[in-house]
Amino acid sequence: MLWIKSLHIIFLVTWFAGLFYLPRLFVYHSMMAATDREGHERFKVMERKLFFGIMTPGGLLTIVFGLWLWLGYGITGGWLYAKLALVLLSAAGSAIAFWAMAASGRLSGPSQLGALDRAAISLHALAFYLEKTLLPVGLAPLYELPFRLAPLAPRYLASAAVVAALTALAVLLRRRVPALAAAGIAYVVILLPVVGVAHQGPQLAADRYTYLACLPWALLAGGGLARAWRRLGAPHAARPGALALAAGAGAVLLTLGALTWRQTGTWRDSETLWTRALAASPSAIAHAKLGVLRDDAGRPEAAVAHFRAALALHPDLAYAHNNWGIALARQGKWEEAIAQYRAALGLAPDSVETHLNLAVALERAGRPAEAAEHARAARRLRGAR
């Protein structure tokens, strides 16, 4: 029963931490300038991932293990029924949120990702997050989902082999080291909502998902360290074995601290962020973001080169077409800009910004009737929101 209680508390803390952090993101988001489109989009992604990827699974798993304690071990009392009433309200809220995600088309549908694709993404994520926790180098703000996923590619097969090997090890050691299986189960369950099972967003993986999912491994490592400390002679810390263990643990912490300090430089500004993202892995979004930065800096040729590269990786990226159109419009190339805006609307017909951009371009190109049509479409879409 002890490990069930532990999991119940771990997921409760996960959920509760999100309850404090999400309002903080809302406050920072509200303080941003209205013209900072990139910043607003970044905060939207952060808020959505925190709520759907961390808080929702944390709350649901708190319920699961709480019910296990209640029904499996007979733990009861008046306080339990009060909790159950709140749990039902939380479950209803989560169900509504999931329905809203599905209704808005944010979840990847069967036509986008098949069963084999989802399995490959999930197994890759399970191995990838553990790898990045143990060896946090080559980190990137975005590991982009390829336009055409090859689920039998070597990296996905290697990930499947790693997951299978670790699972076999946990099963073999289930009696001698039951904590290994418990940590593995908690890790998998926390990650389930943000891997391929219910995939949403442009990412194949994201470093932020390691924060809570790897807490069970941290607990396991801490427990193993404490056990080794006792066996090596604690409280007589002057013994060589204990000194070596303490020195090793200290070296690991110092190394991780140094890597963290270095990684914070990635977030210094947008230029650094997206340049490093592109250096770490191919990314159409990073190319498009850099294209916007180049255009804002008055370098349209460099901007267009990035937009071309973005569309070569992801031909379905409406954001790249729209901003390519903006770069062309700034040069007075209205007909070329119109072509890019139309391509963007073909991919994202509900984009208010693109409709307005196209309306301006058509007006400047001497086609006021068409411009008025798109201006009306933008007003209609904005009103519907």
In percent, the amount of the chain with pLDDT more than 70 equals 89
**Residue 136: how many other CB atoms lie within 10 Å:** 16
pLDDT computed for residue 15 by the predictor: 81
Q: How far apart are CA 65 and CA 57, in angstroms?
A: 12
First to last CA, the chain: 49
Task: Kindly give, in sequence order, each residue whose CB lies less than 8 Å from that of residue 184, ignoring residues fewer than 6 positions away.
Answer: 166, 167, 170, 216
What mean pLDDT comes out for the span 232-259? 77
3 state SS of 365: coil
pLDDT beyond 70 at 181: yes
pLDDT for the residue 193:
73
Range with lowest mean pLDDT among 68-77, 80-89, 129-138, 202-211? 68-77
For the question of whether the overall pTM of this predicted structure is more than 0.75, the answer is no
Q: What mean pLDDT is predicted for residues 73-92?
A: 72
- In the chain, % of residues over pLDDT 90: 30
Identify residue 54 by its one-letter amino acid code.
Answer: I
In this structure, are residues 44 and 55 in contact, taking their beta carbons and an 8 Å threshold? no
pLDDT for 290: 94
What letter does residue 269 receive in the DSSP assignment? Answer: S
The more confident residue out of 22 and 358 is 358
- pLDDT category at 108 given cuts 50, 70, 90 is low
Is the CB of residue 283 less than 8 Å from the CB of residue 317? Answer: no
**Long-range CB contacts (< 8 A, 24+ apart) of 176-185?**
178/3, 179/3, 179/220, 179/223, 180/220, 182/3, 182/6, 182/7, 182/216, 183/216, 183/217, 183/219, 183/220, 184/216, 185/7
Q: Are 158 and 165 in contact (CB under 8 A)?
A: no
Q: What is the DSSP string of 181-197?
A: HHHHHHHHHHHGGGSST
Residue 34's pLDDT is what? 65
For the stretch 25-69, pLDDT in tens is 877 777 766 666 777 777 888 888 888 778 888 888 887 887 777
Q: What is the largest CA-CA distance in the chain?
A: 87
Rounded distance between C-alpha atoms, residue 193 and residue 59, angstroms: 12
Q: Per-residue confidence at 284, pLDDT binned at 50, 70, 90?
A: very high
What domains can be seen in the chain, in order of their start residue?
A: 1-106 (no CATH), 109-258 (no CATH), 283-384 (1.25.40.10)
Rounded to the nearest 10 degrees, the angle between the axes of helix 56-67 and helix 2-30 is 160
Position 384 confidence tier, pLDDT thresholds 50, 70, 90: low
Query: CB count, 10 Å around CB of 191?
Result: 22
Mean pLDDT of 75-91: 72
Mean pLDDT of the chain: 84
| Whether the predicted pLDDT of 257 surpasses 80 | yes
Does residue 220 surpass a pLDDT of 80?
Answer: yes
- Measure the CA–CA gap between 46 and 41, rounded to whole angstroms: 9
